[in-house]
């Protein structure tokens, strides 16, 4: 990473910001089209850090000096939920780096169309003594996003070829064709069946997540029917193979 950019700053936060942004500007590429680089936007641009000048895809960058865990701190809760409902969240790059050596260790890409309400957690309002008293932020809950949708761009310090990243991005694209509400169900069921850890499973295995899915989608009283429907949607979108009636294989 371009560690020399940190020399002009004393604040650890500012130092991390300029170095990570400097690296990203030189190394990020668009997964949605062949563009080899992304354009950095002005610092005060809300929720978006980079834009592809070729296809117009927006991107946000989150840097962490610790390993990429289950959650990522994000901005305002209401703004994020509104962006999900209106299908205008940016693609997300999550960067894990070593702050002493300024080395990139891991970088994952989460496509914008895999963010669902279940992947966002409401934080407690700021206290009455805080400068922004009452403000409510949120966390992005990565464990609630299917592993298929967390695309490795740098893995343990080794970059992944852009062609492979774009191939994985393209594999997820059929999900974008679904409505926002339907997509939420599809991704939640995909995440559930991936957590089974089986290459082949039965519909009854998927039913073990019925209570969890009911909590995520309280407006639906026919959860098992919905699970069966979503298994068919995942089959039609290329994520599952129907071996026989009630039996599914993971692709």
Q: Among the three residues 171, 197, 228, which one is the final residue of a domain in this structure?
A: 171
Q: Residue 172: what pLDDT?
A: 96
Q: What is the pLDDT of residue 39?
A: 96
pLDDT tens digits, residue range 210-229? 999 999 999 888 999 999 99
Tokens matching residue 56: 């117009």
Q: Count the neighbouring beta carbons within 10 Å of the beta carbon of residue 26.
A: 10
Residue with tokens 């305002």: 76
Q: What is the pLDDT of residues 6-31, one digit of tens each?
A: 999 999 999 999 999 999 999 999 99
What is the tens place of the pLDDT at every residue in 45-65? 888 999 999 999 999 999 999
Tell me which residue range forms the domain holding 20.
3-171
pLDDT band at 131; cut points 50, 70, 90: confident
- 237-250 pLDDT, tens digit per residue, is 999 999 999 999 99
Residue 176 lies in a domain: no
Q: What is the CATH number of the domain that holds 241?
A: 1.10.10.10
Neighbours of 68 (CB within 10 A): 17
Looking at the fold, whether 140 and 51 belong to one and the same domain comes out as yes
For residue 44, the tally of other CB atoms under 10 A from its CB is 5
Question: Is residue 26 assigned to a domain?
Answer: yes
Average pLDDT, the chain: 94
Give per-residue pLDDT as tens, 156-186: 999 999 999 999 999 999 999 999 989 999 9
pLDDT of the residue at 46: 82
Sheet containing strand 71-76, strands side by side: 71-76, 137-141, 120-122
Same domain, 9 and 86: yes
Residue 161 located in a structural domain? yes
What six digits make up the tokens of 25? 């500007």
85 vs 149: CA distance, rounded Å:
19
Q: Are residues 143 and 187 in the same domain?
A: no
**For the purposes of burial, counting CB atoms within 10 Å of the CB of 178, is it exposed (0-12), middle (13-18) or buried (19 or more)?**
middle
Mark which of 151, 171, 191 sits at the end of a domain.
171
**Could you tell me what percent of the chain has a pLDDT over 90?**
92
With beta carbons less than 8 A apart as the criterion, state whether 175 and 237 touch.
Answer: yes
Claim to verify: residue 133 and residue 237 sit in the same structural domain: no
């Amino acid at each position: 990473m371009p560690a020399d950019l940190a020399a002009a700053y004393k604040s650890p936060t500012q130092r991390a910001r300029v170095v990570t942004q400097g690296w990203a500007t030189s190394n990020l590429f668009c997964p949605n089209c062949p563009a080899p680089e992304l354009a950095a936007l002005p610092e005060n641009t809300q929720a978006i850090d980079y834009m592809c000048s070729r296809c117009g895809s927006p991107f946000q960058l989150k840097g962490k000096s610790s390993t990429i865990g289950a959650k990522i701190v994000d901005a305002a809760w209401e703004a994020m939920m509104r962006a999900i409902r209106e299908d205008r969240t940016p693609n997300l790059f999550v960067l894990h780096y070593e702050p002493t050596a300024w080395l990139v260790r891991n970088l994952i890409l989460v496509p914008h169309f895999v963010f669902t309400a279940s992947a966002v957690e409401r934080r407690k309002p700021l206290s009455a003594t805080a400068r922004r008293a009452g403000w409510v932020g949120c966390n992005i809950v990565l464990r609630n996003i299917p592993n298929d949708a967390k695309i490795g761009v740098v893995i343990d310090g080794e970059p992944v070829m852009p062609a492979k990243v774009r191939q994985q991005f393209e594999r997820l694209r059929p999900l974008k064709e679904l409505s926002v509400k339907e997509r939420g169900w599809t991704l939640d069921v995909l995440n559930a069946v991936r957590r089974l850890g089986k290459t082949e499973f039965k519909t009854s295995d998927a039913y073990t997540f019925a209570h969890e899915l009911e909590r995520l989608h309280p407006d639906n009283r026919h959860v098992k029917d919905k699970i069966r429907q979503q298994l068919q949607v995942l089959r039609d979108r290329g994520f599952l193979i129907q071996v026989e009636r009630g039996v599914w294989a993971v692709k």
